[in-house]
Structure 1
Amino acid sequence: MQKNIFLLGIFIFLLSFQKEIIAQEKPSLVVGIVVDQMRYDYLTRYYERYGNDGFKRLLNEGYSLENAHFNYIPTYTAVGHTSIYTGATPDHHGIIGNNWYDKFLKKSIYCVDDSNYSSVGTDSDYGKKSPYRLATTTVTDQLLLAQNMRGKSIGIALKDRSAILPVGHTATAAYWYEGKDKGHFITSSFYRNDLPIWVTDFNKQQKAQYYTSKPWNTLYDIKTYKNSTADNSIFEGVFTGEELPIFPHDIPNLKKENGNLSIISETPFGNSITLDFAKAAIIGENLGKNKDTDFLAISFSSTDYVGHKYGVDAIETEDTYLRLDKDLADLLKFLDKEVGKGKYTVFLTADHGAIRVPAYLDSLKIPAKYFNTRKFKTFLDSVSTKHFKSTELVENFSNYQLFLDKEKITTLGLKLDDVAEIFANELINFETISKTVTAKTLRNTNFTKGILNVLQNGFHQKLSGDVLLIPNPGTISGKRTGTTHGSGFSYDTHVPIIFYGNGVKKGASKKHYEITDIAPTIANLLRIEAPNSTTGKIIEEVFK
């Protein structure tokens, strides 16, 4: 009898101890960090130059996935942010680009534009936004649902889409930057009808004016930037008004011809003002100070703007990451102080990578080309004329997708699937195209690996085009300076994923993981339901 009472006592003690441990493990605040256009190798390439308290702190004290990839095409900003937070690919969540052709409205649309709502904090239309085109829930939605709408979920970025899509439909707020002559953060009436006092106070500080009042010079002696090509490179872009892409960049005198306060986006200081605003949000909203878990989604966008202008190998890009490293160190120390060490969880990733400038690769005899839109249009018309005696069968070509004019095809007595197949068979012969596939094939065939599997994950039956094209590896559209992204090749898909803080162990993995694994992993950490269309898996090895 005494033995049974003793065992019962131990059981009750262990049960209460387990409950206490569970209560301790749940973070007060989750901070999701997306670094726009961050290739994985920026972690290793600049590692020796980083300080100990930014990227290195996350790597050395957190859990890093070294072989993580996006698993769909197209690798664009809106799609990336959405897939990270939904745990789903575009075939489920419905955000198939930044912009795409809407075959029902017969026009190109932008992913978060919504005229049903008004701007808050500005007299322009730049705040008329919402996440209504997002067809699924996000992990941030699921957190608030699990807490009976208690807690707060806030998105912050320079870009509207990068602030809005991560925090889904139930967010407390999303804030983004308006440049030009404004230089402040705004929102939409989708979230609220006025700016909180803390946002108004922040905007009054005129931080954008401060950051753009001085030249952009290198953080360290320019001779120490050995990981980058020479400063004056023909493969780099320039600001309007500059003759050469060299330091220092005279930001105060370049503002007038480069969008005034919008210029901050194309400098490392766009990340700094984002950090400043995030810190103001943590204090102003008391994030991490309540019984329920809060969520802060931060996107650092300047890395993308700088990358597009200068490319992967520029000193400007290296300098931007060295400065971002200091900003991350600042953020982590701030979280230690305001929320408390061990009381918050962070994950850091990117929305896509980037290709090295094809013109630079070509100069090194590495296969790399430019997709010539004008030549392609001529080729497309010749195919259409040859087979159908008409150039009016293609309604739109964008994002490497053909949208066919179904009414015209019917009028000519043709069948849509037959026309699509002819275009697919002919367009494969264009010089910079490596694969073509019809919507019918993607509907009826299950590709389980390779580039067609990645394309299929990005194909939305209702929204996508009738014929989809894949350019050759190393091929982009655009100028011969700077870089871009969008493909399903490794330079665009391989990105960092690091988990850090509450509930996360130290370590690293070389296993293959996908970007859609982040949301279910965070959901499991928080012990909530994953987003409703999640296809990713829980990364068990991340947890303590």
Structure 2
Amino acid sequence: MLKKVAAALLLAGSVPALAQSPTTVPAGAPALPTAPRLIVAISVDQFSADLFSEYRQYYTGGLKRLTEQGVVFPRGYQSHAATETCPGHSTILTGSRPSRTGIIANNWFDLGAARADKSVYCAEDETQPGSSSDNYVASPIHLKVPTLGGRMKIANPATRVVSIAGKDRAAIMMGGPTADQVWWLGGPKGYVSYKGVAVPPLVAKVNEAMARRLAEANPGFELPPQCAAKDFPVKAGDKTVGTGRFAREGGDYKGFRISPEQDAMTLAFAAAAIEAMALGKQAQTDIISIGLSATDYIGHTYGTEGTESCIQVDRLDRELGAFFDRLDKDGTDYVVLLTADHGGHDLPERHRLNAMPMEQRVDRALTPKALSAVIAEKTGIAGKTLIWGDGPAGDLYFDRGLTAAERAKVEAATLALLRAHPQVQTVFTKAEIAATPSPSGPPESWSLIQEARASFDPQRSGDLLLLLKPRVMSIPESAVMGNVATHGSPWDTDRRVPILFWRKGLTHFEQPLGIETVDIMPTLAALIKLPVPKDQIDGRCLDLIAGDGDSCAN
């Protein structure tokens, strides 16, 4: 077994040779008679539908297999308004929108909290002594609904549920509270878990392999031919992006984390876990969820349209191909689901160079701190922070110590100011969102308030929801830039993601009409004949059998 683990860890080494993918079963083949023994659910953080489509013709590895042999929904939707990592991951394996999962954002505010830090991180246990949203004990306590793995364990306690990711919130939201093992990249020393279990030999070996890889310098990746046209510098504040190759010195953890190397190590870990635990080799169906975080880190740091993002997609395709080939060699009967937690938007500076002169960064006056100061001056209510929020878009919270009259005054002044601002698309009050029925129908036709309703939790959502206009990046202009690009808007650049299914024996077809990521869980549940009450979820089962037959039929 240790030889197999060592072989799996070689995925994170040099560029793998791309083996021929298994041939598809011809059209007209019988419907799949048995449940798969292993569910492999992959989320590629910030892998927008636009990014997926842009490079589709160049895929030669794992993404080629999924797109040419699988069932392809290129127009999937993270249908809610708050298109962030934690809400997005909470939808993928629960079948529920954030309004039901309770995960409305990466961070929300609890102004009644006893601690000084009123911001609550989606994957923390804020009841732990000394916890803050930046220094916390990771936990799934905020997730209000079970994951697919959780439902599988209820039906059959022998089911093994494993979740591995680059980020804690990805691993936790897909694995859920009852997962057997949940691991994420915790720093230069490797992968850590919230479950408090001793590090097993497998994880120790993975961390040792990562330490060796990290200690070695990376001279950078070669530029694939399809990336050549992307290779020009773009200036954003003090940063120049667009020409990177991910070269780094030995020991540079940040360079490792914000590069294709991170995803390679995560997939190596997943392959080793599948082999060491013999997932998919017993009578029951097991499930492993894999969160690949590098695309998101790269998108924030360099944008989505430079050489950095182009190289990342190429490397992702190659590493996925090696990962699937590894599973094939073991003869595992597995089904793959690949999607994303949200999309992303490129930095305005590059858009302006490429035919989009209207692209702009958000006015610093819309940040909660600046907004609070202006409203205090307008209302004459001084001595306290009137408005709390996580940035110049999203949920805004009014100070809880305001009297009813003061609160009405603050709300009226804030609404008037925001609705007059040229960068603001709309502002909804909490009452307006709460009065809106939960949305239904094609997600591409939803109104903004319906998207807002899909993200709404009455206990955690703000008093106002601020939505910026399209083509307004919610990172302000700065002489010293941190991230240059982001996501989180209600627009299709951030909502649209690919949704891909593959299993040996499925006949390929493509459905261009819109579906939701909440449709994934009931679709996978149907493949293993696991009943899920429709009133407990927001999604619907997708029939994965081309032509006659129905994979959703009981």
TM range (shorter): 0.7 to 0.9
* Displacement after TM superposition at 1:541 (Å): 4.5
Which amino acid in structure 2 is aligned with residue 538 of structure 1?
A: C
**Who is 2:452 aligned against?**
455
* Displacement after TM superposition at 1:339 (Å): 4.1
Which amino acid in structure 1 is aligned with residue 93 of structure 2?
A: Y
Q: Secondary structure at the match of 1:25?
A: coil
Q: Where does structure 1 lack aligned partners over 5 or more consecutive residues? A: 1-20, 119-124
Residue 91 of structure 1 is aligned with which of 95, 99, 113?
99
Distance 2:221 2:265 in 1: 18
Q: Secondary structure at the match of 2:323?
A: helix
Q: Quick check: 1:27 aligned with 2:30?
A: no
Distance 1:55 1:236 in 2: 35
Give the alignment of 1:192-271 within 5 angstroms.
192-205=196-209, 207-211=210-214, 213-220=216-223, 224-226=226-228, 228-235=229-236, 246-252=243-249, 255=251, 260-271=252-263
Distance 1:60 1:267 in 2: 27
Q: Quick check: 1:535 aligned with 2:538?
A: yes
**Who is 2:152 aligned against?**
143
**Who is 1:482 aligned against?**
484
Q: 1:88 to 1:274 in 2, by over 3 A?
A: same
Distance 2:379 2:59 in 1: 59
* Displacement after TM superposition at 1:249 (Å): 4.3
Q: Quick check: 1:169 aligned with 2:177?
A: yes
* Displacement after TM superposition at 1:160 (Å): 0.9
Q: 1:384 to 1:427 in 2, by over 3 A?
A: farther
Q: Work out whether residues 375 and 410 of structure 2, in 8 Å CA contact, stay in contact via their aligned partners in 1.
A: no
Q: Work out whether residues 95 and 134 of structure 1, in 8 Å CA contact, stay in contact via their aligned partners in 2.
A: yes
**Who is 1:356 aligned against?**
346
Q: Work out whether residues 86 and 533 of structure 1, in 8 Å CA contact, stay in contact via their aligned partners in 2.
A: no
Structure with max Cα Rg: 1
1:485-525: CA deviation from partner (whole Å, max 9, x where unpaired): 00110100111100110574310101111111111111122
Distance 1:374 1:92 in 2: 33
Identity of aligned residues (%): 27
Give the alignment of 1:398-409 within 5 angstroms.
398-399=390-391, 400-409=394-403
* Displacement after TM superposition at 1:133 (Å): 0.8
Q: 1:217 to 1:97 in 2, by over 3 A?
A: same
Distance 1:402 1:31 in 2: 37
Residue 322 of structure 1 is aligned with which of 314, 320, 325?
314
Q: Secondary structure at the match of 1:217?
A: coil
Q: Quick check: 1:110 aligned with 2:121?
A: yes
Residue 331 of structure 1 is aligned with which of 323, 336, 340?
323
Distance 2:56 2:32 in 1: 36
**Who is 1:44 aligned against?**
53
Residue 296 of structure 1 is aligned with which of 288, 292, 305?
288
Residue 423 of structure 1 is aligned with which of 406, 414, 424?
414
Q: Secondary structure at the match of 2:92?
A: helix
Q: Work out whether residues 164 and 182 of structure 2, in 8 Å CA contact, stay in contact via their aligned partners in 1.
A: yes
Q: 1:116 to 1:392 in 2, by over 3 A?
A: closer
* Displacement after TM superposition at 1:406 (Å): 2.8
Higher helix share: 1
Runs of 4 or more consecutive aligned structure 1 residues displaced over 6 Å after TM superposition: 115-118
* Displacement after TM superposition at 1:75 (Å): 0.7
Q: Quick check: 1:279 aligned with 2:274?
A: no
Q: Secondary structure at the match of 2:437?
A: coil
* Displacement after TM superposition at 1:220 (Å): 4.2
Q: Quick check: 1:432 aligned with 2:438?
A: no
1:45-67: CA deviation from partner (whole Å, max 9, x where unpaired): 2223221x411111111100022
TM-score of the two chains, using structure 2 as the length reference: 0.82
TM-score of the two chains, using structure 1 as the length reference: 0.84
Q: Is 58-67 or 211-220 further displaced after alignment? A: 211-220
Q: Work out whether residues 352 and 492 of structure 1, in 8 Å CA contact, stay in contact via their aligned partners in 2.
A: yes
